[in-house]
Structure 1
Amino acid sequence: METTTARVPPLSLCPSFHAASIRNALLPLKSLISFPVKRNSVKSLELNKRYGTFSTRTKVVRCDASSNVRITQQEFTDMAWQGIVSSQDVAKENKHQIVETEHLMKAFLEQKNGLARRIFSGAGVDNSRLLAATVRFIQRQPKVHSKSTGSMLGHNLETLIQRAREYKKEHGDSFVSAEHLVLGFAQDQRFGKQLFKDFQISLQILKSAIESIRGRQSVIDNDPEGKHEALEKYGKDLTAMAKAGKLDPVIGRDEEIRRCIQILSRRMKNNPVLIGEPGVGKTAISEGLAHRIENCRRGCTSSFDEPEANIP
């Protein structure tokens, strides 16, 4: 069989063969080494980039025509929606085309005073170690060098959001909150389930941590996270301080303390209010009451002899 060989002149002898030609010749090779994306496995993601316009609560994340899934800002609390929006930024920063559950986890862990961080702290987990493990997983994912980074909603993240909606219904809440999304990570087959296994976080531990934070409150508005643990944020647990021996003993003020106990023992109108000029001893009365409550808990009733006062 005859073969024909063509002699190619050096590049210096081909004035028309410039850098643009080299770049165009390499485009097919770039497409070959890119990681293909199945169109039926992802959904288009359009998120509002300006959190300042969240109050309008009208932005819609539109999916492909083949999907009936709609993600609207109106069904999420502000903190949960901020996490979803920030997850797209995380994907873009790491040159990922698909926004997945690991991006949402990183967005939650980077929220200052975020509810997710408080939940994990309540579960006994170091947030910095959890964030480091999330970053390592993100860095292992393939990168896409194109302008379409962060433009697709991954199937696993879509499933997690749907699972969070189910938790919302289970708790009787009106909005999908950050704790619902955190619970969804426990069943995330892509990333969350293995992460929680590595850190020994079970679904029951998460639920206990969430219950200790939100108590019996329901999510009835778009900013419930700011109301969780309000007493811990803006007040002091004087009985805990008395138990730890951090309060000085109170001398006197017996009549005022007894009167507070009497008011607290009522069935109605049981909120004592201490009014007075600075320095007259309002804090001392509160600390004396805390001492008596703690003494009652320990069974020492000598300093708490008001018969109708039965404080558990």
Structure 2
Amino acid sequence: MTTARIFIDGEAGTTGLQIRERLEGRSDVELLSIAPEKRKDAAERRRLLNDADVAILCLPDEAAIEAVSLIENPQTRVIDASSAHRVKEGWAYGFPEMTRTQSSAIAEARFVANPGCYPQGLIATVRPLVETGLLPAGTPVTLNALSGYSGGGRKMIEDYEAAEDPAPFMPYALTLKHKHLPEMRAYAKLDHDPLFQPAVGAFAQGMLTFVPLQLWSLPGRPKAKQLFDVLADRYDGETFLSVAPYETVDRIPTLDPRIFNDTNRMRIHVFGNDDREQALLVAVYDNLGKGASGAAVQNLNLMLGRDETTGLVMAA
């Protein structure tokens, strides 16, 4: 097996550190590192980017765009963890479970845009319903979500860990603008941006996303069990993504946002009330795992022709 040279540009950040941790010790990859004092040295970054078989960009958007411009070697492939290229033509969207053929598209791509953490829960729950016609693309969709504070980057992590009494629940993006909206709309196949309301909790990592649906407003007035059947069929046999059994419950302990921390798993739940003709689609996963670094390693495995699970924790 040929050893692949991997350069993580921005390895000192939260996502970069976790990607490196997942890759360290693997005999099939060689990690290229930049000296700390040269992290802003364009010439050194250019050299490493062009020496790599795959460059993984864990950078702010503008820096990620600059990094791509520094790559002159046509053999260097790229995984960009920023939001700079997620809806850009020529870039494969790095959510392998999005369609039955997406993993093949990622495997063959030179440029792969790693998904945002929040969009994956929306796309996973909504897109199959749109594609089967149960949910018209023009339906007004709402996404409520809760993330661990690690999703806010190093400054937010420092603030939360230094606080004596951090806010247990902090809604944000109250201007109803967010950088994830373009990819949500594009890859969930919606006609309009969803109304997105995220929040941060006083826990380090983990994520829950919620999509409420008024079934009485949809053509044919489908039952919640019909939504479940579509999702269960779509994700049957997937390695990392599963659908929990359909059940009518008031609460369940497994809807803990931290349950899949340090894994690359995602689980979907469908809840419903037939009398009220309402349903709730829920996804639980790790914002730093399937939502970031785990997804990047999964995409890297596909691009290198490795087993999809290499270096990734399966069990919770």
Give the TM interval when normalised to the shorter protein.
under 0.3
Relative to total residues, which structure has the larger strand share, 1 or 2?
A: 2
- Compute the TM-score of the two structures, normalised by the length of structure 2: 0.24
Relative to total residues, which structure has the larger helix share, 1 or 2?
A: 1
Larger Cα-atom Rg: 1
